[in-house]
Chain A
Amino acid sequence: MVEMRMRDALREALREEMIRDETIFLMGEDIGAYGGSYAVTKGLLEEFGEERVIDTPIAESGIVGVGIGAAMGGLHPMVELMTINFSFLALDQIVNSAAKLHHMSNGQIHVPLVIRMASGGGSQLGATHSHSLEGLYAHFPGLKVVCPSSSADAKGLLKRAFRDQNTVIFIEHTANYTLKGEVPDDPDYLVEFGVANVLREGSDVTIVGYSGSVHQAMRAAEMLETQEEISAEVIDLRTLRPLDMDTVIASVKKTNRAVIVEDDWLFGGFGGELSAQIMERAFDWLDAPVARVSCKDVPLPYNRNLEFAALPSEEDVVEAVLRMFKE
């Protein structure tokens, strides 16, 4: 075990996978000489050379398309899209090409491609640069959607992404990049897709989060324990597609209450999907309606106070839980 920040764990995963598999190469905006906007690829150009670490033009649709073509041609590319906000420009390639080619070609083509992007608000970057779109990508059949919340998961999941034969949308919350955590140094350390992580066991309520919101969920659980004597179970989904609903349902059947926390907007968000599935599979076990704590229904403002008012906080989670017990 080594303690590292998430960005260093991601870099280690890329390094180890590139050493293991010669077909892996990286392309993206400023991933070479600049070292990546969030320093994830720092030093990789020097180590692996220009053929395997390629700085691209600012052309999101084009570079994802090139990645898809290279994957069809027998390589295993990673495309870094700088941030999830710019992935809108590549949406057609991701949705209409990467996600569909295997099915449309009746299994003849597959697209082994990893698309990495930074996500999340909270840094006063304004409305265009603060999106959380994990749920959007999870909407599309044919994609895999991964969103780690810790250094160990980041490494194990990213390495696992390069063992997959499909396109993996790998989403990294910017607030997580500097978080430190213990990471196994075994080069074969992988975290399987579709296996949620029960971060904290509890008996009174289940709090489900993913990506950045896992940390609000954990802090809220601690507050509930110390201030309210409520025992909360916290589940980190880790991957939204495939989705480990069994772990969530088992937990809800034990605690009889569920709160979902996410940075995405409430309206039409992924939390709605989770809530519906809980209702479908555990209706008789619920002592209260499923609660959702999400981003308020506005574009994220620049002003710090306004932005924080819009984003979900641990206090919001605590409040949602207390409301359940009052009703």
Chain B
Amino acid sequence: MTTETTARETLGAERLGMFLYQMMLIRRFEEKCGELYTKGKVRGFLHLYTGQEACAVGMMATLDEHDKIVTHYRDHGHALARGLDPNRVMAELCGKATGVSGGRGGSMHLYDVSKGFLGGYAIVAAHLPLAVGLGMAARMKKEDSLALCVFGDGSVGEGEFHESLNMSVLWKTPTIFFCENNLYGMGVPFKESLSTEIPKLAAAYNMPAVSVDGMDVLAVYEAMQKAVAHCRAGNGPYFIEAMTYRYRGHSMSDPELYRLKDEVDQYRKQDCIDRLKATMQTAGYLSEAQFHELTERVEQVVHDAAEFAENSPQPGLDTLFDHLTKEPAHG
């Protein structure tokens, strides 16, 4: 039996439908972000996740509610897949007081501690050691939770990548290192910035490592299930490289001089949404009417999110100095 059939059968129509819905939601949400950016409603750096949706959806589906997540600045997809409120994520992108970070974080810094979503990090590889520490805390407090750390292929050149993998293995922390290899770090192909292959780096630190098709949500889900089981059993960290591709530029200001349109088209032919849709249709899990309904639902949620963001207030200027440090409440 192929991976696809086993995962398809164990998951069933309802969960696969959920995966499809989430991937479609992220896709449409990102398109909307792009629109709002051109209208000047979203400002600053904006990194769209279009093309990589299978990674976020496949990984989050395997976690428990008490697990902790840290990710990189391309974080909208992870936030939505983790169940953060799309309204409040969009409000954050628009810098509004109702945003998940109160308008202080922006696109690259989404947080929702109530969901174990401990942030998007905009300094490449800076959050890798944090995930080791989170895993360490879980282990020391004898909690069953694990830490998931998501980062791009660009991270592997940083010293902190190596420091973190080493310490994580030394101290057997329940940490999953999930590398979204979308082939480029901004405009540099990862093969031009790395002398070896990514999973070999993890293996060099004695960490189990696999490489999977990151544009196949079922493959990501299965790899993550193994990683989660490994961590929960107290065996220490686990490494996943997911081969994926971003359809849009690195950020909104990227003229994309480093790649050909043809390459993008080739990857679009392996689109994660199209593939899951086809799988579900073959299995008789999805009718055209049901797909249409999903499309409408997604449209509505994204429309509502944009409207919520638009109608939300700006943070008051009197809050400028809020949350500088945490002090005991007086009184």
Q: Could you list which residues of chain A lie within 8 angstroms of chain B, going by C-beta atoms?
A: 25, 51, 54, 56-57, 59, 61-75, 77, 92-93, 96-97, 101-110, 141-142, 144, 165-166
Contact = CB atoms under 8 A, between A and B. Distances in A.
A107 B133 CA distance: 20
Lowest 3 A-B CB distances belong to which pairs? Answer: A69-B133, A65-B129, A73-B137
A62 B167 contact: yes
A69 B134 contact: yes
13 contacts: A62-B164, A65-B126, A69-B130, A70-B133, A70-B137, A72-B130, A72-B137, A73-B147, A93-B126, A97-B126, A105-B109, A109-B118, A166-B326
Contact of B136 (A73, A103, A105): A73
B137 A65 contact: no
A62 B160 contact: yes
A108 B166 CA distance: 29
B266 interface: no
A65 B130 contact: yes
Contact of B132 (A66, A71, A104, A109): A66
A107 B164 contact: no
A59 B166 CA distance: 10
Contacts of B160: 61-62, 65
Nearest to B110: A105
B111 interface: yes
Contacts of B325: 102, 142, 144, 165-166
A66 B170 CA distance: 13
A74 B141 contact: yes
A102 to B, nearest CB: 5
Contact of B140 (A25, A67, A106, A141): A25
Contacts of B229: none
Contact of A106 (B111, B121, B127, B138): B111
Interface of B: 68, 70, 100-105, 109, 111-113, 118-119, 121, 123, 126-138, 140-141, 147, 159-160, 163-164, 166-167, 170-171, 322-328
Contact of A66 (B102, B167, B322): B167
A93 B134 contact: no
Contacts of B103: 106
B101 A105 contact: yes
B126 A73 contact: no
Nearest to A64: B129
Contact of A102 (B140, B171, B326): B326
A73 B113 contact: no
A75 B141 contact: yes
Given A102-B324, A104-B111, A142-B324, A62 B129 contact: yes
B129 A109 contact: no
Contact of B137 (A63, A69, A141): A69
Nearest to B130: A69
Contact of A74 (B128, B131, B137, B163): B137
A261 B133 CA distance: 39
A63 B160 CA distance: 9
Contacts of B70: 69
Nearest to A60: B163
Given A59-B166, A73-B136, A141 B129 contact: no
A61 B163 contact: yes
Contact of B131 (A57, A59, A69): A69
Nearest to B171: A54
Contacts of A97: 121, 123, 126-127, 130
B291 to A, nearest CB: 37
Nearest to B322: A107
Contacts of B112: 108
A59 B163 contact: yes
A11 B323 CA distance: 32
Contacts of A75: 136-137, 140-141
A59 B161 CA distance: 11
Contacts of A166: 325-326
B130 A62 contact: no
Contacts of B328: 165
Nearest to B166: A57
Contact of A105 (B119, B134, B324): B119
B104 A104 contact: yes
Q: Which of B68, B129, B160, B164 has the most CB of A within 10 A?
A: B129
Given A59-B166, A102-B324, A109 B113 contact: yes
A168 to B, nearest CB: 10
Contacts of A67: 133
Contact of A72 (B100, B133, B140, B164): B133
